[in-house]
Amino acid sequence: MQSTDSFEPARDEAMSCLVTGAGSGIGRAIAHAFARERAHVIVNDLPSSPALAGLCKEVEALGARCTVAAGDVADPACARSLFAHIERLDVLVNNAGILQEAPVTELTDAAWDRMMKVHLYGAFYFSREAACLMKQQRCGSIVNIASDLGQIGCENLSHYSAAKGGIIAFTKSLARELAPHGVRVNAVAPGGVLTPMVEALGDTYIEDEAARYPLKRLGTPDEIAEVVRFLSSGAASFMTGQIVGVNGGAVMNG
């Protein structure tokens, strides 16, 4: 690892980082960011994702070690099975997510449940396993990917907003619980970001979304990844329980 002084804890071996939902978009950018730090990057996405093999090659091309850990974060057995093979973990990034528009009157039980399972339950399942390991280590960092919609809400995305709001509350509670054990927990709350998931919603959605930001544009995955990297580093060693907005000014807390 070339940048040992920027991350915690400083050790001879490379730090280990697990990124869920790493196959594309923000997750892929986060994997690249840690790869540039020569971390051992463990990348997770659905077994059906065609992108994981290619991502692993990209990570290795940046000089880092990569391990593929395919699985559905909505299944608690996925986290248990994965962590059974992890001896040490410095950083967990709970990034896996889905996005689907529907007015509440047309929102099915199945759609609501799936949204909660992927976002909120997935973050819980993986954080629970990581907490057990990091408490033993007496160090570690968990970064959850929330959303500005978890703070301000959005029509036709009540299930998504509710799930992200839950992640925000979960982050603050977990930060209080794990702080005595030397483990920090923070969240990044992006605004609209130009990912394949967002692009699939169409040009009209993207234009309308960009218009609501003071900066009048959407963010990029790399802009989110750099904040995640910072929160995981020693430079943020006095930060825990924080919800860091990267949203072009959509949310301004005074």
Domain that holds residue 53: 4-246
Asked whether residue 254 is assigned to any structural domain, the reply reads no
User: What would the mean pLDDT of 138-148 be, rounded to a whole number?
Assistant: 97
User: What would the mean pLDDT of 39-62 be, rounded to a whole number?
Assistant: 95
With a cut of 80, say whether residue 141 has pLDDT above it: yes
The model's pTM is 0.92
pLDDT tens digits, residue range 122-132?
A: 999 999 999 99
Asked whether residue 253 is assigned to any structural domain, the reply reads no
What single-letter DSSP state applies at residue 15? P
Asked whether residue 120 is assigned to any structural domain, the reply reads yes
With a cut of 90, say whether residue 8 has pLDDT above it: no
Chain centroid to Cα 158, Å, comes to 20
Residue 68, domain CATH: 3.40.50.720
Instruction: Tell me the torsion sign for CA atoms 84, 85, 90, 93.
Output: negative
Asked whether residue 108 is assigned to any structural domain, the reply reads yes
Contact indicator for 63, 35 with CB cutoff of 8 Å: yes
Higher pLDDT, 134 or 196: 134
With a cut of 60, say whether residue 10 has pLDDT above it: no
Instruction: Tell me the torsion sign for CA atoms 158, 160, 166, 172.
Output: negative
Least confident span in 6-20, 78-92, 186-200: 6-20
Asked whether residue 67 is assigned to any structural domain, the reply reads yes
pLDDT above 90 covers a percentage of the chain that reads 84
pLDDT tens digits, residue range 195-212?
A: 887 888 889 989 988 998
Helix, strand or coil, per DSSP, at residue 130: helix
Asked whether residue 194 is assigned to any structural domain, the reply reads yes
Domains in the chain, number: 1
Buried (b) or exposed (e) across 25-40, using 16+ Cβ within 10 A?
bbbbbbbbbbbbbbbb
In sequence order, what are the residues at sequence separation of 6 or more whose Cβ sits closer than 8 angstroms to the Cβ of residue 25? 193, 195, 196, 197, 221
pLDDT reported for residue 81: 96
User: What would the mean pLDDT of 24-34 be, rounded to a whole number?
Assistant: 97
- 205 catalytically annotated: no
Q: Which of these is catalytic: 121, 160, 205, 213?
A: 160
Contact indicator for 26, 102 with CB cutoff of 8 Å: no
Asked whether residue 252 is assigned to any structural domain, the reply reads no
Tokens 């001896």, located at residue: 87
* Residue 226 tokens, joined: 């750099």
CA distance 93 to 187: 9
With a cut of 70, say whether residue 9 has pLDDT above it: no
Neighbours of 3 (CB within 10 A): 12
In sequence order, what are the residues at sequence separation of 6 or more whose Cβ sits closer than 8 angstroms to the Cβ of residue 247? 148, 189, 190, 191, 192, 213, 219
Q: What is the mean pLDDT of the chain?
A: 92
Higher pLDDT, 3 or 141: 141
CA distance 42 to 170: 23
CA distance 69 to 192: 27
CA distance 66 to 43: 7
pLDDT tens digits, residue range 109-123?
A: 999 999 999 999 999
Higher pLDDT, 50 or 159: 159
pLDDT reported for residue 205: 85
With a cut of 80, say whether residue 21 has pLDDT above it: yes
Asked whether residue 182 is assigned to any structural domain, the reply reads yes
